[in-house]
Structure 1
């Protein structure tokens, strides 16, 4: 017989969503679409062209569990959502057809004379199993009552004698669901009481039970998060070691990433000192190198696929922070130009900076990823800034700003699309310095003082820095033992000892 899919007619097979941390298929099928994961790990150079299927499955299982555990720990908003294919997709259409065929078949069975309850009995068993999965250890009386009312042998006897009362059983099921569901599901459970058609009742019971199972999974995740945090470092480190044992080249991109940071840090030290000794490796700090390496991730080229695998699970978060950082730099640059040309009398007007920032943020949203889009956005932004400046001056009864100053401001804003623009470069360096200072003090430090030019974006920049620091601190703690030997080889000649990267 056919069984309905997903939450329009869930079967007991779907219960595995609760057990997904230990099951490869469930983690892959039921996890959110945007859940980050490690890139596909290819066989190392020199390995046989074919690998053991069991070893590949073990590796995939390890990667899946590592990604899922990491996401639960670092993403405070992480939760599972019921999976439902788009209605206009092939999967959605096939699912709809299967669902309709199943429920139409059940309707035909129950409408026959005498009614055929064979499918209905199977569904009642599935409902019982799903309800049992929602019970807690303290639900002793409720568990006993569930076994008594949904005694499948007794129900089968009632079917054989034509005495099965589906409406009575449906009423009991709805009452039981009402006592177990989260408050957010109360309206949907109450709506079940208004249904009279047995097929529709069973279908909606399955749908709401699917939502309740998801609620239970998310509640369990939230409850376990404090305990997971205590074990996360050891767990992620051990899992990555398993991956490294099977894929020895997994640290190649990480080594290249750190090597580039070493070169940058050494060049920075050389440029900032009067000494030009050929051996500049000694003064380079492993901590400074690692901080510089993390900073490079905020400006990573999307086309560069050689992303360090030790940070790969956080790439989505770091890319988002990097994009937000670019917008903040542009915002601060525009506001700096506006302040310089308009003067304190206009810039200090109540609400002017906030209104101007809203316009800047709205017009720059999504435009920084492509040069042509940024040029167009900045042209429109220049006109918008001039309009708001004119309105602010007019509201105060002041004389309009000279045309040459307005033209200069428009031109200065339009020139910000260039990466080597002096103001944009200056603001970028100030932001970089702020973030580097935040990293130097660890996760418990107070935010450093911001330069005056960054004052208008101080709150957003501090929030971004905190989020960035949290990612870096956790990554450094987990992968420090992997970074230390790499940095030691890069920074110190054989025979010397170097400081640990942590």
Structure 2
């Protein structure tokens, strides 16, 4: 089975790595600063009890310190979003047509261009507005450059040297046409390839004011930002990845210094996973060796860590606070959890259908995809508050039976007896129940596959697809790739914290409290 495996990072290292970029746009998660503040208030109101690890006493900080920390955490969340979300784009904000904001914006723009035109028409011309515009254009162009654009940066600095331009204007030697041509050429080099035709049209415009006014530079700045954040040759993501691990680790440590108890939930998450594995209470799936493979009595930190991440795909988001180190990706984990539950139900239904009909429908061209598509469509709202499970699965059962009946008749097979028909429908309808044996079997195999996928990315070996999952193989691989990328990136960022917590847990000492300055 061929697949795109993420790069292989060790579980604990110095924080440098380059996991693959995640494809597909997802919504931005709840801002980390808000989530962490909410968690801090909850823990401050009532001290941790039971299995919640003990922590250092709270440290009082000033409002200024909290504001600065919040700003840093927000920046960290933005950097994290750009790195892990391959669909992240910067989109321009346009006020509604006819709104007050739109009218004010149009008036201001018109006033600016009218003033610039009037100044350039003076004798001798006045370049005050023009020089300000060139200075803003220069800063914007420089902000779009990648770390490797040293030569282009030097060209921009030399061509748009504001003090020199000011001197040329005072001595009547400023060539605005030359300046405008340089700006348009540089825009053509930086903006997305789809803009090439527009850049060509700009070169044909005569007159400084029309050229600057209609070049669309300011709107295209968003286009440039989107292009350099894309996955193409101009992408800044590989460069950002090199620094993002250390940046996120540093910002989280700054927050940890001010809130020493800010990893209590992370400690509990890892501790509970280790306890479940050692006590044989693990319900999140077995090892990659198979559903019945025993959990070793001596656990390696990597085993605990992989199972802990797997448990996040079974998380009770409504009542259990999420580990602090994964808050920025909580929504992504929840969406993957929903997707896996839907795929599990689909695979369970198809397994029942093909086991019931047997060779009569096995191998019929196009039938599997048709049954799969129908089931996915009917279960698309599985996690909607308005979803009626009993009614939806009864409909699935009816539709599956109709397809099976039609196929049997079309290919000359004997029809099902009424008793056999009732059994088929009843088995499919029962998939709605969480403790349904077939649904649990498929779920166990999905968990086995995901765990094997994590291990294969670390060992560089292929993953075996368990039986019964072939109909959802493509979708399952896509989820596994996203899951593995998030896991690997998170390991890189928080490796020092995870290493210390897991070592303490596996020595049987329980997690030590996070101390100020720990890393």
Instruction: Give the TM-score taking structure 1 as reference length.
Output: 0.73
Q: Report Cα offsets for 1:449-470 as digits up to 9, x if no partner.
A: 3332223223332443343233
Residues 175 and 73 of structure 1: is their aligned pair in 2 closer, same or farther, counting only changes over 3 Å?
Answer: closer
Query: Per-residue deviation at 1:177?
Result: 3.4
Query: Per-residue deviation at 1:481?
Result: 3.0
Corresponding residue number in structure 1 for 2:277: 265
Query: Per-residue deviation at 1:250?
Result: 0.9
Query: Per-residue deviation at 1:56?
Result: 1.6
Please state if 1:389 is matched with 2:404: yes
- Asked whether the 8 Å contact 1:363–1:381 carries over to 2, the reply is yes
- Asked whether the 8 Å contact 2:390–2:429 carries over to 1, the reply is yes
Where does the alignment leave 5 or more consecutive residues of structure 1 unmatched? 1-31, 273-279, 498-502
Please state if 1:202 is matched with 2:241: no
Residues 64 and 190 of structure 1: is their aligned pair in 2 closer, same or farther, counting only changes over 3 Å?
Answer: same
CA distance in 2 between partners of 1:187 and 1:375 (Å): 56
CA distance in 2 between partners of 1:123 and 1:219 (Å): 31
Counterparts of 1:138-217 in structure 2, within 5 Å, are: 138-139=151-152, 144=158, 151-152=165-166, 154=168, 173-174=183-184, 177-178=187-188, 180-192=190-202, 198=209, 202=213, 204-216=216-228
Q: Report Cα offsets for 1:41-72 as digits up to 9, x if no partner.
A: 33774647x73233223322432343344344
- Asked whether the 8 Å contact 1:121–1:156 carries over to 2, the reply is no
Corresponding residue number in structure 2 for 1:319: 334
Query: What secondary structure is seen at the aligned counterpart in 1 of 2:361?
Result: helix
Counterparts of 1:4-83 in structure 2, within 5 Å, are: 34=28, 37-38=31-32, 39-41=35-37, 42=40, 45=44, 47=58, 51-75=61-85, 77=86, 79-83=88-92
Single out whichever of 182-191 and 136-145 deviates more from structure 2: 136-145
Counterparts of 1:235-384 in structure 2, within 5 Å, are: 235-268=247-280, 283=298, 286-304=301-319, 306-370=321-385, 372-384=387-399
CA distance in 2 between partners of 1:270 and 1:141 (Å): 61
Query: Per-residue deviation at 1:180?
Result: 4.8
Query: What secondary structure is seen at the aligned counterpart in 2 of 1:40?
Result: helix
Q: Report Cα offsets for 1:91-131 as digits up to 9, x if no partner.
A: x9454233112123246557889968765664355335544
CA distance in 1 between partners of 2:131 and 2:282 (Å): 79
Residues 141 and 254 of structure 1: is their aligned pair in 2 closer, same or farther, counting only changes over 3 Å?
Answer: closer
Corresponding residue number in structure 2 for 1:419: 434
CA-atom RMSD in angstroms: 4.3
Residues 452 and 210 of structure 1: is their aligned pair in 2 closer, same or farther, counting only changes over 3 Å?
Answer: closer
- Asked whether the 8 Å contact 1:356–1:388 carries over to 2, the reply is yes
Corresponding residue number in structure 2 for 1:468: 483
- Asked whether the 8 Å contact 1:443–1:473 carries over to 2, the reply is no
Query: Per-residue deviation at 1:297?
Result: 0.6
Residues 164 and 104 of structure 1: is their aligned pair in 2 closer, same or farther, counting only changes over 3 Å?
Answer: farther
CA distance in 2 between partners of 1:245 and 1:105 (Å): 50
Residues 486 and 85 of structure 1: is their aligned pair in 2 closer, same or farther, counting only changes over 3 Å?
Answer: farther
Query: What secondary structure is seen at the aligned counterpart in 2 of 1:446?
Result: coil
CA distance in 1 between partners of 2:120 and 2:490 (Å): 66
Residues 455 and 306 of structure 1: is their aligned pair in 2 closer, same or farther, counting only changes over 3 Å?
Answer: same
Query: Per-residue deviation at 1:307?
Result: 0.6
Query: Per-residue deviation at 1:407?
Result: 3.2
- Asked whether the 8 Å contact 1:394–1:400 carries over to 2, the reply is yes
CA distance in 2 between partners of 1:232 and 1:328 (Å): 33
CA distance in 1 between partners of 2:435 and 2:409 (Å): 35
Single out whichever of 483-492 and 113-122 deviates more from structure 2: 113-122
Residues 339 and 165 of structure 1: is their aligned pair in 2 closer, same or farther, counting only changes over 3 Å?
Answer: same
Q: How many residues align?
A: 449
Single out whichever of 469-478 and 336-345 deviates more from structure 2: 469-478
- Asked whether the 8 Å contact 2:77–2:328 carries over to 1, the reply is yes
